Amino acid sequence: MEQMKVIGRGKISTIYTDGIFAYKTYPDSFPTAWIDYEYQTHQAVFEHTDLTLIRYTYLKEQRQIQMDFIQGKTLADRMRKDKYKQGLDDFISLQVQIFNYKVPTLTQAASVFKDQIDQSNLSLRLKEKALISLNKIEPKNQLCHLDFHLENILFDGQKYIIIDWVNAKSGNPVMDIARSYILLKQYAQRLSNKYLNLICKTMHISPNKIKEAIPLMAFLRMLENDIDPFRPTLESLILEDSID
């Protein structure tokens, strides 16, 4: 890696480039099975949709995923630095495109989320609220990204590329929308309610359907390790069923 340049760091992986490809690299302690899962999930979406994705090659011995190196900027930077005014419209258009697909080999979101609730160490009260929320959501089999935010959309100057599909599952789009709403509330609060109103209008769905999913997705967000000082807001979203 001495001749490579670091271009990104995730919670676990580090991304390098040699100027031709990018390489997502994992520490030795990270289970190979999880790298396999990330690769297989990405490939399933790549092969079953017409969405614009980065091409992956799994370099198993090196514990790396080789990717197309995209020289561009995130939608977040386009909106923040370039003062691009149509960013939220573009964001919603891309997310709605995702929901048009079904990928039969993906895991079912509802089943995975039920297990995560049951196995969590959060309070019984929070778990009960999350389960009530989960049980209100109509079962569906549409493609959901489930980490769809402004930093996971790259713009190469001509088109958008959606990245980081490791959380993708089959499920009801209201879960994906609720997740995006929560992330916007955490990192771009002024956009969160505007996003919610606009995507509900675009998809002709009631905001109440998203409200029903928010306690579940707030609970799952609380299980992640980058929520402080957002934790009190997440608790209120779980316990108060509020999207104000």
For the chain, give every domain's residue range: 5-68, 73-239
Determine the residue type at 70.
I
**CA neighbor of 1 nearest in space, from 69, 30, 22, 11:** 22
| Residue 185 to residue 188: CA distance in whole angstroms | 6
Contact between residue 145 and residue 170 where contact means Cβ atoms under 8 Å apart: no
Residue-level pLDDT at 4: 86
pLDDT for position 241: 52
Same fold, 5-68 and 73-239: no
* Tens digit of each residue's pLDDT (9 = 90 or more) over 190-208: 999 999 999 999 999 999 9
- CB of 98 within 8 A of CB of 143? yes
Q: What integer pLDDT is reported at residue 111 of this predicted model? A: 98
Query: pLDDT tens-digit profile of 94-153?
Result: 999 999 999 999 999 999 999 999 999 999 999 999 999 999 999 999 999 999 999 999
Q: Which of 7-16, 44-53, 72-81, 202-211 has the lowest mean pLDDT?
A: 7-16
Tokens of 102: 């079904």
Length of the chain: 244
pTM above 0.85, yes or no: yes
Average pLDDT (3-25) is 89
pLDDT tens digits, 149-183:
999 999 999 999 999 999 999 999 999 999 999 99
Contact 172, 137 (CB under 8 A): yes
* pLDDT tier, 242 (very low <50, low <70, confident <90, very high otherwise): very low
Exposed, middle or buried, 77 (CB in 10 Å: 0-12/13-18/19+)? middle
CA angle 89, 103, 13 (to 5 degrees): 75
- For the domain covering 5-68, report its CATH number: 3.30.200.20
Spatial CA neighbour of 171 closest among 201, 204, 216: 216
**pLDDT number for residue 167:** 97
Q: Can you give the pLDDT at residue 165?
A: 97
Q: Which residue has the tokens 């997440």?
A: 234
Q: Which residue has the higher pLDDT, 241 or 106?
A: 106
Domain 73-239 listed as CATH 2.60.40.1190: no
Preceding amide of 229 cis, omega within 30: yes
